[in-house]
Amino acid sequence: MTTNNEIASPIKFFAGSASRYVAEEIVKGYNPEMRLGESTLLKFSDGEFVTSIDETVRGCTVFLIQSTFPPVENLFELMLMVDAAKRASAEQVVAVIPYFGFARQDRKDKPRVAIGAKLVADLLMASGVNRVMTMDLHADQIQGFFNVPVDHIYASTLFVPYIKSLNLDNLVIASPDMGGAKRAKAYSHFLDAEMVISHKSRSKANMVSEMMVIGDVKDKNVIIVDDMIDTAGTITMAADIIMEKGAKSVRAVATHPVLSGPAYERINKSALIEVITTNSIPIKEGMSDKIKVISIGELFGDVINNVYHHKSISKNFIV
């Protein structure tokens, strides 16, 4: 980035093929008069693909927007776009990754496993990124895997005002597991609410074998907070147990709607009144009336504007 005494380089935005829907909202959030730049994704018959940026970016600050949810081609497409921008003499390349895939692989939790999040960080830096902008990483320490600045945005900036607008009495914030206790505590602090924790044990990945709720939820309006919903097994089990213990209502707040496998079916059959999430990952239309999607466009647009003009982004760090 330039210093305050220098003229800022021109700014341009481009989107990966999987995230164009949200990229358009982010650009609008930055400046309603701006548009996404032109780019092309060409696929060969054997599955190989090539990206090209179809307008000049020489001397520009380029923001490349792509969530890296499956398939892995979304991540590789982003890296190809970074490489294309660098080779086209862009001054700075910022990877805007609303959902950072492979973030659950942040440590060696058993022998002889990869640390996928570190590998992804290394690959992005090797491709030439100068900065990374992402939201609600599964593990905060992933920021340290990069040797470039990382702007880690919190969706609580969007969720807290929405929760307040519900005007719920006897509000309780719940963590779906012990690992989310820090996040739940932060929400309970800003919402001046009590907190409970769900303790779970897994028989294997994506399968919860046992769960118990620690804390009082009787006659309470409970909101479960998490960073993502994958198969929805944990959150729906927690919701059902909370209702069995006498809660008035239960909702879930989760930033990234991965929603794989039986997730939609589980949500529809569960005690959850509402699932509040963002559009960091596209939602399948018509699958559930319980899902409320809040756009991240204005939030990311505001952060990009402040970063580009060397202003503080502290206001976007509620939790």
Instruction: Quote the pLDDT of residue 204.
Output: 57
- Condensed to tens digits (0 to 9), the pLDDT of residues 109-139 reads 889 999 999 999 999 999 999 999 999 999 9
Q: Compute CA distances 51 → 48, 73, 79, 99, 245, whole Å.
A: 11, 12, 10, 21, 53
Instruction: Quote the pLDDT of residue 5.
Output: 46
Low-confidence ranges of the chain (pLDDT < 50): 2, 4-5
Instruction: Quote the pLDDT of residue 6.
Output: 52
- Condensed to tens digits (0 to 9), the pLDDT of residues 6-58 reads 557 899 999 999 999 999 999 999 999 999 999 999 999 999 999 999 999 99
Q: Is 200 a catalytic residue?
A: yes
Separation between Cα atoms, residue 172 and residue 220, nearest integer Å: 6
Instruction: Quote the pLDDT of residue 79.
Output: 98
Instruction: Quote the pLDDT of residue 179.
Output: 80
Instruction: Quote the pLDDT of residue 1.
Output: 52
The 8-class DSSP code of residue 105 comes to -
Instruction: Quote the pLDDT of residue 212.
Output: 81
Residue in 12, 118, 200, 220 annotated catalytic: 200
Instruction: Quote the pLDDT of residue 177.
Output: 82
HSE on the CB side for 317, CA within 13 Å?
Answer: 7
Q: Strand 11-15 to strand 291-294: parallel, antiparallel, or no bridges (unpaired)?
A: unpaired
| 107 residue type, one letter | R
Taking every pair of Cα atoms in the chain, the longest distance, rounded to a whole number of angstroms, is 62
Nearest to 92 by CA among 149, 64, 130, 56: 130
Instruction: Quote the pLDDT of residue 178.
Output: 81
